[in-house]
């Protein structure tokens, strides 16, 4: 099928197909955040150790996302997207059958393999189908229905955990996956590329660097001796350096270095990494705090978190007008500052305050988070050439998952450090969460300086016309 001869029916349904994939992933992640304490009790694990169920999934996404562009180019976006939906649904089934944390982590890896291809390939099909001046609207249309997932996730997850069992939080993905498969068979275009050369050596180097750097963060949260952590980190950094040298010599590296000569791409990648370091742990820390520090049920924590996702919808609908009015540079700098201040505000309510004080803060946080993520993701691809679309799109997705993984790990590391200092928190668990929010908020505020590198007119070709 020619990219210039796209039927209107495909243009109408394709964003919905991508929304199905994102919906499953967002529903899955938000349900899991709310349900971790209950799963931990059933599997006889500490709630803070249950991060492995999240990090294993995120790491698998980051590891296999680099392959998504190559597989889509070689076998076609339709075949790879449908296969990814099947694998993700099977992984969800395996998660529901898990009897211990090890089995759950392995099942999450299977889910991650499907998820690593699902969203990037769906977005790639969207990018190749729509012109640049239509892309922001199309992507926005794809993401808005998917935001129902985070709204339903905490509520449905809390209800299932409290009144049925946590196993059902994974089974709910299966009918959604079947719907996505049926729609994809009929409407997903099967774009291919003549370039089928795959940089296996570069992929292995990048994958090894990814594993080692992620392991160093995981070890940092539990290690009593810092030496092994530094060794693993240095090895990961060394593998990243080897990839850099390899990419300089190879004719077709998996991630071409000249991608970073595009300033908007470079700033978008760095900005994503920096800002998500402070933001990413919040959706996990809030349900943990409500259930552990306040002693509330999973269902109650779901009602506290759900409004955050609800206002995200309004953020998605407003982002185009905001970008048209203020541009990417001003929007991202001011928006990042606002998010950082709001995260700091989460530290205001005390241990004996009503938990519903968090609702207005989270309502605002959801709105501004939505603007942040859409703006960062679109500015990253604003000036990419057509021949860089696949590799650039994959690297944006990989970077995003690494940023989320690093943010979750870092947030839990900070929380563990404060929980271990009994004198500082006055033997009050809630204070550990308050201090953690202050640290995460401060990091987010300073991360906004990254966007100073943007020019006032950057991203104009991505705005509505």
Check whether 1 has a pLDDT greater than 60: no
∠ CA(34), CA(269), CA(329), 5° rounding? Answer: 100
Structural contact between residues 37 and 138, judged by C-beta atoms closer than 8 angstroms: no
Beta-carbon contacts of 175 under 8 Å, excluding residues fewer than 6 positions away, are none
Would you state the pLDDT for residue 2? 45
Angle among Cα 326, 330, 333 to the nearest 5 degrees reads 145
Do the Cβ atoms of 202 and 255 come closer than 8 Å? yes
For residue 375, CA distances in Å to 127, 187, 324, 355, 378 come to 16, 28, 11, 31, 5
Cα 457 from Cα 451, distance rounded (Å):
13
336-354 mean pLDDT: 90
d(CA 365, CA 441): 12
pLDDT digits (tens, 9 = 90+) for 391-433: 777 788 788 888 888 888 888 888 888 887 777 776 778 888 9
Give the pLDDT confidence of 245-257 residue by residue, as tens digits: 998 888 778 788 8
Interior/surface letters 173-208, b for 16+ CB within 10 angstroms, e for the rest = beebbeebbebbeebbbebeeeeeebbeebbebbbb
Answer for the pair 105, 43: CB distance below 8 angstroms, yes or no. no
In 3D space, the residue among 407, 444, 435, 412 whose CA is nearest the CA of residue 280 turns out to be 407
**Over 70: is that where the pLDDT of 5 sits?**
no
98-131 pLDDT, tens digit per residue, is: 888 889 989 999 998 998 888 888 888 888 777 7
User: According to the model, what pLDDT value does residue 389 have?
Assistant: 67
Residue 384: band (very low, low, confident or very high) from pLDDT cuts 50, 70, 90: confident
Q: Which residue has the higher pLDDT, 268 or 251?
A: 268
pTM to 2 decimal places: 0.80
Whether residue 463 is predicted with pLDDT greater than 60 in this model: the reply is no
What does the pLDDT average to over 59-81?
83
Average pLDDT of the chain? 82
Return the exposure string of 313-338: e unless at least 16 CB atoms fall within 10 Å of the residue's CB, then b: bbbbeebbebbeeebbbebbbbbbbb
**Alpha-carbon span 407 to 300, nearest angstrom:** 25
Question: How confident is the model at residue 421, as a pLDDT?
Answer: 72
CA distance 25 to 19: 10
For residue 352, pLDDT over 90 is answered with: no
- Whether 334 shows a pLDDT value over 90: the answer reads yes
Model pLDDT, residue 453:
87
Q: Which of 291-300, 382-391, 404-413 shows the lowest per-residue confidence on average (mean pLDDT)?
A: 382-391
Percent of the chain clearing pLDDT 70 (strictly above) = 90
Q: Does the pLDDT value for residue 383 go beyond 80? A: no
Residue 465 has a pLDDT of 35
What does each C-alpha distance from 376 to 123, 159, 241, 343 come to in angstroms? 15, 34, 26, 19
The predicted-structure confidence for 181-230, as pLDDT tens digits, reads as follows 998 888 888 877 776 677 888 888 888 888 888 778 777 766 566 778 88
pLDDT of residue 386: 65
Measure CA 365 to chain center.
16
């Amino acid at each position: 099928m020619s990219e210039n001869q796209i039927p209107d029916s495909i243009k109408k349904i394709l964003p919905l197909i991508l929304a199905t994939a994102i919906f499953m992933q967002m529903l899955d992640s938000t349900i899991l955040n709310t349900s971790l304490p209950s799963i931990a009790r059933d599997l006889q694990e500490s709630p803070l150790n249950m991060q492995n169920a999240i990090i294993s999934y995120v790491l698998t996404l980051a590891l296999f996302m680099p392959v998504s562009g190559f597989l889509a180019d070689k076998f076609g976006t339709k075949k790879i997207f449908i296969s990814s939906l099947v694998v993700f649904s099977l992984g969800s089934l395996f998660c529901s059958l898990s009897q211990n944390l090890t089995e759950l982590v392995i099942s999450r890896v299977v889910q991650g393999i499907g998820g690593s291809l699902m969203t990037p390939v769906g977005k790639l099909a969207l990018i190749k189908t729509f012109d640049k001046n239509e892309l922001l609207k199309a992507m926005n249309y794809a993401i808005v229905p998917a935001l129902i997932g985070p709204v339903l996730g905490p509520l449905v997850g809390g209800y299932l955990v409290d009144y049925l069992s946590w196993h059902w939080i994974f089974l709910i993905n299966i009918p959604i996956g079947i719907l996505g498969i049926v729609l994809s068979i009929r409407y997903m275009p099967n774009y291919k590329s003549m370039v089928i050369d795959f940089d296996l050596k570069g992929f292995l180097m990048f994958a090894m660097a990814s594993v080692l750097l992620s392991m160093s963060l995981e070890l940092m949260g539990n290690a009593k001796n810092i030496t092994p952590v530094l060794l693993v980190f240095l090895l990961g950094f060394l593998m990243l350096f080897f990839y850099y040298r390899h990419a300089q010599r190879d004719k077709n590296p998996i991630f071409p270095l000249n991608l970073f000569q595009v300033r908007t791409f470079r700033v978008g990648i760095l900005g994503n990494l920096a800002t998500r370091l402070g933001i990413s742990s919040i959706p996990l820390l809030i349900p943990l705090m409500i259930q552990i520090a306040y002693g509330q049920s999973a269902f109650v924590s779901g009602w506290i978190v759900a409004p955050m996702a609800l206002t995200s919808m309004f953020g998605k609908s407003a982002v185009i007008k905001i970008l048209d009015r203020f541009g990417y540079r001003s929007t991202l700098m001011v928006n990042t500052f606002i998010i950082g201040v709001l995260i700091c505000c989460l530290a205001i309510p005390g241990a004996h305050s009503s938990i519903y004080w968090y609702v207005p803060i989270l309502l605002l946080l959801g709105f501004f988070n939505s603007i942040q993520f859409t703006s960062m993701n679109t500015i990253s691809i604003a000036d990419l050439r057509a021949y860089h679309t696949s590799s650039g799109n994959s690297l944006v997705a990989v970077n995003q998952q690494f940023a989320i993984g690093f943010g979750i790990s870092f947030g839990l590391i900070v929380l563990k450090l404060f929980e271990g200092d009994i004198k500082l928190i006055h033997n009050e668990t809630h204070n550990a969460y308050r201090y953690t929010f202050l640290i995460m908020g401060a990091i987010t505020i300073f991360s906004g300086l990254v966007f100073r590198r943007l020019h006032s007119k950057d991203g104009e070709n991505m705005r509505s016309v």
